[in-house]
Amino acid sequence: MSASNRGDGLENGARETVLARMKAALDRGDDATAKETVRARLSASAPTLVPARADLAPEGRLQLFIERAQAVQAQVERIDTIAELPATIATYLRRHNLPMRLVRAADDQLERADWTNGLLEVRSGRPEPEDAVGLTRAFAGIAETGTVMLASDAGHPMTLAFLPETAVIVLSSDRIARAYEDVMHAFRASVRSMPRSINLVTGPSRSGDIEQTLQLGAHGPKRLLLVLVDEPSAEGPIAHVGVPKTHT
């Protein structure tokens, strides 16, 4: 037996010893019984507490989302259709004296906007360090905190929302749910496999660690523009998506 094999054997033996001690200390019985207990608990999980303040009709949830997002220094624009997106972004960039160019996600809904109107210089893909503005689309919004959920995939690199100093995130108005529980329930029901990352974004990056003074852009974008689009989303609405209503 080689030295490495002897080492592997010792490591495996030590691991089994530690696990056996933990199992004895926890008074665990048959593994099959334990697995069935866990399976039953997951399939019939008890509802968690959901703040009653977000238990509103769709328009009420949207207004609460806007209020909470603006309270954490996000800027919010609301448009009727995705066709208005380029002009909305161009107006925002001019207002903040930012370059009229951006890098965006390769997203089916964003593709429907007219990017050939000369207002902006646009490319799709991953952002580079010199890119000042990134554009992506959120999976959903959370009314109780003004938060958006982003899920990464090949067309939606997470760096679009974190590397450029200005992040623009598009969210369909009918994808704003009451609470985190609703959004996670909808996410689990809609995806076949977990993405590499899920991010919950509430306002631009900030820190109060420097002399207790709020600093924007400490760990990511210093500006966040949320664009709410009122036309129906391709994925369909999420609101009360089957999460039992147990309120605080």
Cα(first)–Cα(last) distance of the chain, in Å? 62
Q: Is the pLDDT of residue 4 over 80?
A: no
The pLDDT of 75-92, averaged and rounded, is 97
- Mean pLDDT of the chain, nearest integer: 84
Q: Is the pLDDT of residue 154 over 50?
A: yes
pLDDT digits (tens, 9 = 90+) for 188-247: 888 767 888 999 999 996 554 455 454 554 555 889 999 999 999 988 898 655 444 555
Distance CA 138, CA 152 (A): 10
Of 196 and 101, the structure prediction assigns the larger pLDDT to 101
Q: Are 168 and 134 in contact (CB under 8 A)?
A: yes
Q: What is the pTM of this model?
A: 0.77
DSSP conformational letter for 233: P
Distance CA 18, CA 20 (A): 5
Of 34 and 74, the structure prediction assigns the larger pLDDT to 74
Q: How many CA atoms lie within 13 Å of 209's alpha carbon, on the beta-carbon side?
A: 6
Q: Which amino acid is at 61?
A: R
| pLDDT for 190 | 84
Q: Are 146 and 139 in contact (CB under 8 A)?
A: no
CB atoms within 10 A of CB 147: 23
| pLDDT for 221 | 87
Question: Using alpha carbons only, what angle is made at residue 79 by residues 76 and 83, rounded to the nearest 5 degrees?
Answer: 130
Distance CA 80, CA 83 (A): 8
